[in-house]
Amino acid sequence: MESDHRDEWDTEDDGLAKAVVAAAANAIVALDRDLSVLSWNPAAERLFGWPAAELLGRRAPLVPSELMAEHNAVLERVRNGGQVSLRTKRFRRDGQLLDVQVDTSALRTESGTLLGYVSVYHLTEEDEAARSRVVRRARLVRRLTDVVGDINAELDLPVVLDRIAASLTELTGADAGGFVLIEKDRLRLVGSHQLPDSIRGATADLGSSLVGKLLRTGKPVMLETGHDGLQDLIWAKLDGLHTIAVGIAAVGGRPYGALYALFAKRKPGHLELELLELLAGHAGIAVANATAYQDAVRQRAHERAVFDASADGIAVLDGTGCVIQWNPAAAELTGFPADEVIGGPPPFALPLPGEKLTIQLPSGRWLDVLCAEIDETGEIVVDFRDITRAKELEEAKDLFLATTSHELRTPITVVRGFASTLDARWDKMSDTERRSAVHTIAERAKSLGQLIDHLLLGARAGAAEPPVRSERFDLAERVHAATLGLPVLSDRHRVEVTIPEDLPAVHGDALATDILLGQLLENAFKYSPDGGLIRVEAWPEDDSVVLVVDDEGIGIRPADRERVFERFVQGDSGDRRRFGGVGLGLYIVRSLARAQGGEVTALARPGGGTRMRFVLRVDAGEPHYRTGLTGAVTDG
């Protein structure tokens, strides 16, 4: 049943993909490796003139002979990876040469096998038209920026409103413009451009006006067309008037007035309405600036009090990037007093205005830095706060999530191995063997429960590394437990364990060592795909105990023997990458080793393969020995 559903989904996906290609506005042509047409969508039929039925299975005669070298070079580049985009020429069916933009990429299976090529075509004249629209829009937006700067630089309200009306006609191409104030239920014309001076100050009823109609719709702008109705406006004294665009200007969130753009010669479009809306918004800002100027002195005193009392570091830079203000919190966070900073650049990098940058100071403290530019003065306000604790918690969370899945695998692998043995060989095993297997499953299940408790404790503590206990334990016993269930996992490997009888006890965490040993042994199996001997050996060395896990596998390149202990790194060797995984296992191993005061390193094994060397401190308490393990463990 599941297979039937999968087939239905695959069929639906295939149909959807064909529908998308068929509906595409651009011509899409798919070729096989012999350059015969596999797919020719309706847009390709319209662009080139050949119906799909005529070309499917054949080579399409699109490429002029003088451009064949170029075409072959593109295909060669695509075969080697990447996408090629270029402007060139292609034939239509009627012999006409078309100027086209073509984007070509490889058509491959999920496994990477080359099936052919896909090219997407469109006429370059469409690009030119789009580019022209973009250029015009960019020019107007740049001009709008200049206009806004001029408006905001003026604090005399009548002058501001006349400038708005004049800028409105420049930006929208209107033949005349005006600004009206909303005075309760009336409108008053207070700013105009290309309208008779005699109508300045004229009033009209708000409710029956276009502004009243616009306010009732709740929209910011409106376009009204016609002839007779528009002539009723007392300020619509413009010959040939056929269209009026109206935009609301708000101050403090409330409608303050409206901009009128009057058109007698040309017709406005969406861009003109957008510019009108933007200018109306800035007109409200300009009015607010003019009225706010009266309160500037009082507000400046309030701002100074906030500046000095803020828990965030705040700095103000002049137009050259030099610090001109540096509040007490900034001095505390960075360690630089104001007299050392003012007059020079800030002691850290800055983001672009409106963006955020996270940086670390030489002291180790992490800061989130924000910048904003003051348009009127060209000054930069920098706000920064201490996020060191949040950064530590974020890293602790990352490590906890990374270790959870990997640390659970070792006990589960042993349980699964013995359970599979019981299931497959129950009748062939003696009662003693069955009891031993069940006992091992119970022990590993208990270890699994302890592991979960351990990880949950680490999550609650928010530790930056896996929490470990400090205790005395028998490393030989841990090795025996780690290797006990391994023979059932592979019929191509032999496991040999050599540990002297007088191996001293070590100091660390037995549970963390279980996890560590399990990961080292798992790697030894994983990277020895052809089988061979896996040897575990331990011996005392000075005040430490050294344990090595040797395999006869593919080995690790010298340049990667440190990098494999980093997160998400397996080494650049393609031989190692084919074994999958996200490269967290050895990172976890080293974290657990160092958390116990030990160390793990990767070495080359004499004769080929890898040697993982694990060192733990000898426990300084009373001597603690057990019977050593010396011998070979085979697949039984």
Find the CATH number of the domain harbouring 39. Answer: 3.30.450.20
Q: What is the pLDDT of residues 501-551, one digit of tens each?
A: 889 999 999 988 988 898 899 889 888 888 889 999 999 999 999 999 999
Residue matched to tokens 């596998």? 553
Packed helices 431-461 and 388-425: angle between N→C axes, nearest 10 degrees: 170
Residues 476 and 432 in one domain: no
Give the per-residue pLDDT at 154.
66
- Residues 573-594, mean pLDDT to the nearest whole number: 64
For position 552, what pLDDT does the model report? 92
Q: What is the pTM of this model?
A: 0.34
Whether 516 and 608 map to the same domain: the answer is yes
DSSP letter at 505 equals P
Domain end, chosen from 124, 144, 171, is at 124
**Does some domain include residue 608?**
yes
pLDDT at 563: 84
Domain count, the chain: 4
**99 & 151 share domain:** no
Which residue range is the domain that position 475 belongs to? Answer: 471-617
Q: Give the range among 109-118, 127-136, 306-315, 525-534 with minimum mean pLDDT.
A: 127-136
404 and 497 in a single domain? The answer is no
Q: Which among 242, 267, 296 is the end of a domain?
A: 296
Residues 107 and 233 in one domain: no
Task: Name the pLDDT band for 293 (thresholds 50, 70, 90).
Answer: low
Q: Would you say 275 and 291 are in contact if contact means Cβ atoms under 8 Å apart?
A: no
- Joined together, the tokens standing for residue 67 give 């451009």
Residue 347: is its pLDDT beyond 60? yes
Please state, in angstroms and as integers, the Cα–Cα distance from residue 429 to each residue in 16, 370, 381, 635, following that order. 56, 70, 78, 15
User: Is residue 353 situated within a structural domain?
Assistant: no
CATH number at residue 409: 1.10.287.130
C-alpha 635/C-alpha 432 separation (Å) is 19
Secondary structure class of 441 (helix, strand, coil) = helix
The rounded mean pLDDT for the chain is 80
Instruction: Look up residue 26 and give its DSSP letter.
Output: S
Mark whether 226 and 155 lie in a shared domain: yes
- Please compute the mean of the pLDDT values over residues 591-619 and round it to a whole number: 92
CA–CA dist 229, 260 (Å, integer): 15
Q: Do 143 and 55 belong to one domain?
A: no
Query: For residue 362, is it within any domain?
Result: no
Write down the pLDDT at residue 399.
Answer: 56
**Domain contains 630:** no
d(Cα 312, Cα 322) in Å, to the nearest integer? 19
My answer on whether 189 and 266 are in the same domain is: yes
Domain end among 124, 145, 172: 124
8 Å CB contact between 581 and 569: no
Strand order in 610-617's β-sheet?
Answer: 599-604, 610-617, 544-551, 532-541, 493-498, 630-633
